[in-house]
Structure 1
Amino acid sequence: MTRFTGMLRAWLAILITSMFTSLALEANGQSFNNQNIAEELGYPADAKLLIIHADDLGVSHSENAASITAMEEGTVNSASIMVPCPWFPEIAAYARQHPDKDFGLHLTLTSEWTDYKWGPVTSTDKVPSLVNDKGYFYSTVDSLVMHADPEEVELEIRNQIEKAYRAGINVTHLDAHMYALRSTPELLDVHIKVGREYELPVLLTYEEDVVKEFVETEGLTEKDVVVDNLYMAMQEEYDNGITNYYVELLNNLEPGLSCLLVHTAHDNEEMKAVTRGHIYWGSAWRQMDFYFFTSDRAKQLLKENNIHLVTWREIRDKVVRAK
């Protein structure tokens, strides 16, 4: 009886929390169903909309070259750029010369690789909480959260955006490298605040507790866009066959707005050196992503499942900046 009573109380607590979350979302004109975005983009309410999004452009020449090919010849239709990284000038030049491509910013506050590092675009004396004793970003999100001053975070991400604009990039959206800007309510608040000021969609999903908490306490506006489903292969999917994961995902994609994060690069000496010591999200993983999303099979699966590829540019112009 005691065990049953405990289970009942736990179930009621979950139910009540869910009810209050739903009420908070409805009060702000939002719901867990984001299909109204489909209609705003000119599709039926039950359409399957997908953004196939390549992360980490700017981190290396290999990442840039493979991602460009995947966008020009494959099914990748959006990407985001890491402004602080060494190969930023190369991808910035490409973006400037190809204004039709969908490029956002992978706002960067961490530097995770063992022998390949970067730091802020802001002078380190102005953002001392963001760097370690060697002047680089911290390797992990946990270390960032432990040390970061939100005001310095805001200064740094604003400077990354401004540097991108000065380089001639027509920025379409903002997301967060290693989910760092979505790791705490304080950092998410900065992320959303800056996105609103620049009238850029910020990648958000209700699947993350920090986003739910933000909605409950701060609320969203009609210009804030939340994807229904956010997908990215993790260690388990890689171990079990990453191609199998992508095939199953496309065959079972639900109606609504979904975003699939991938990492396309060539498995060459440069990328092996960059990712040395890392199997997961390493050089071989990125080559597999490149192979699949430039394959005829990927194109056929999109067609067979009646999946419409949409871009952050469309969302920016038709939703976020709509008058």
Structure 2
Amino acid sequence: MAEVRLVVQSDDFGMLHAVNVGTVKAFRDGIVTQVSTMAACPWFTEAAALAREFGIPLGVHQTLTCEWDFLRWRPLTDGASLVGEDGTFLRSVEEARASVTHEDSVRELNAQVAKFAAEGLEIEYLDVHMGQSATPAAYDEVSSAAGKPFIYGEVESQRFASIETLSDRDADVKRAWLLEYLDKLTPGVHLLVTHCAAAEPELGALHKPGSYTYRWAEEYRLSDQELVMDPEIRKAIEERGIELTTVAAAFS
């Protein structure tokens, strides 16, 4: 076992077709080792089929928000505190914190876990969409019921030597940042979060011009996709003796 182990995670699988296509390619031909998947999203059924076909290690990307202007998704349950006037999830973590109840959160997140089981998918871990917990205790409760780690939980997150996100960096500095990041990895298990997508027209149709989410549509995802597929990045990982792994393998 290598001293330095790296989990490369791609988020938002199931969100839309472009994300599904890019994520599968990043897993099969790139350095992505596990994929966080959104059960409440419109392309989850395709993501489930692809995961079964290619044996992709999955986590539940627990979802209580929907940030896009034109791509909107609804809860799987009927909790009134989960939605805005249009019946879809609230648009920001701040809105969710102000509205969502613990009871509605637990019921919805359990339904998302159950949807994986209905597709015959094995869950390796749970995490959270948009990086912050709207109702923190709900995530721990659902994780305990599922018998799987919530990797951003207070205890579970401490098992990682570091947790970093590649995505939200300017494209012209992202490669240099990633190479420096690999150079500085210390012994232990590290988590690097990415957001991959194929260059499909739908990416540019997620938001209004000037929306606060615009960089998370095409810019961040396409530059992430390019880097996780880059042979020079894989070569750098191999030359540094870094072992690519998953959460389940690293902490089994």
**What's 2:177 paired with?**
245
Runs of 4+ in 1 over 4 A off after TM superposition: none
1:227 and 2:175 are equivalent in the alignment: no
Higher fraction of helix: 1
Q: Matched residues in 2 for 1:262 and 1:63: separation?
A: 11
Tell me which amino acid in the other structure corresponds to 2:216: W
CA-CA distance at 1:202 after TM superposition:
1.3
1:275 shift after superposition: 4.5
2:136 paired residue number: 188
Give yes or no for the alignment of 1:135 onto 2:135.
Answer: no
- Code of the residue aligned with 1:195 in structure 2: it is S
One-letter identity of the residue aligned with 1:238 = D
Q: Which residue of structure 1 lines up, in the alignment, with residue 129 of structure 2?
A: 177
1:97 equivalent in structure 2: 53
- Cross-structure match for 1:65: 21
Structure with greater strand percent: 2
Q: Percent identical across equivalent pairs?
A: 26
Q: Given that residues 48 and 307 in structure 1 are in contact (C-alpha distance below 8 angstroms), is that contact kept between their aligned partners in structure 2? A: yes
> Is the 8 Å Cα contact of residues 171 and 220 (structure 2) preserved in structure 1?
no
Partner of 1:201: 149
> Quick check: 1:272–1:283 contact (8 Å CA) kept in 2?
yes
Cα distance 1:57–1:140, how it changes in 2: closer, same or farther (>3 A)? Answer: same
Q: Pick closer, same or farther for the CA change 1:274–1:63 going to 2, 3 Å.
A: same
1:224 to partner: Cα distance? 8.3
Determine if contact 2:13/2:36 at 8 Å carries over to the other structure: yes
Whether contact under 8 Å (1:54, 1:67) holds in the other structure is yes
The answer to whether structure 1 residue 147 and structure 2 residue 99 are counterparts is: yes
SS at match of 1:241: helix
SS of structure 1 residue aligned to 2:143: helix
- Equivalent residue of 1:231, what SS? strand
SS at match of 1:172: strand
Number of equivalenced pairs:
249
Q: What is the CA distance between 1:91 and its match in structure 2? A: 0.5
Per-residue Cα deviation, 1:248-305 (whole angstroms, up to 9, x for no partner): 1112112211110001112321111125544322213211111111111111111121
Tell me if structure 1 keeps the 8 A contact 2:171–2:219: no
**Whose radius of gyration is greater, 1 or 2?**
1
Residue type of the partner of 1:151?
E
Give the unaligned 5+ runs of structure 1: 1-42, 206-210, 212-219, 319-323
TM-score w.r.t. the length of structure 1 is 0.72
Is 1:67–1:264's contact at 8 Å kept on the other side of the alignment? yes
Distance 2:40 2:230 in 1: 31
| One of 53, 63, 66 as aligned partner of 1:111 | 66
**Is this contact kept in 2: 1:174–1:203, CA < 8 A?**
yes
- 1:223-270, CA deviations, whole angstroms, 9 ceiling, x for partnerless residues? 8873221101364x3265222221211121122111100011123211
**Mapped partners of 1:230, 1:259: distance in 2:** 5
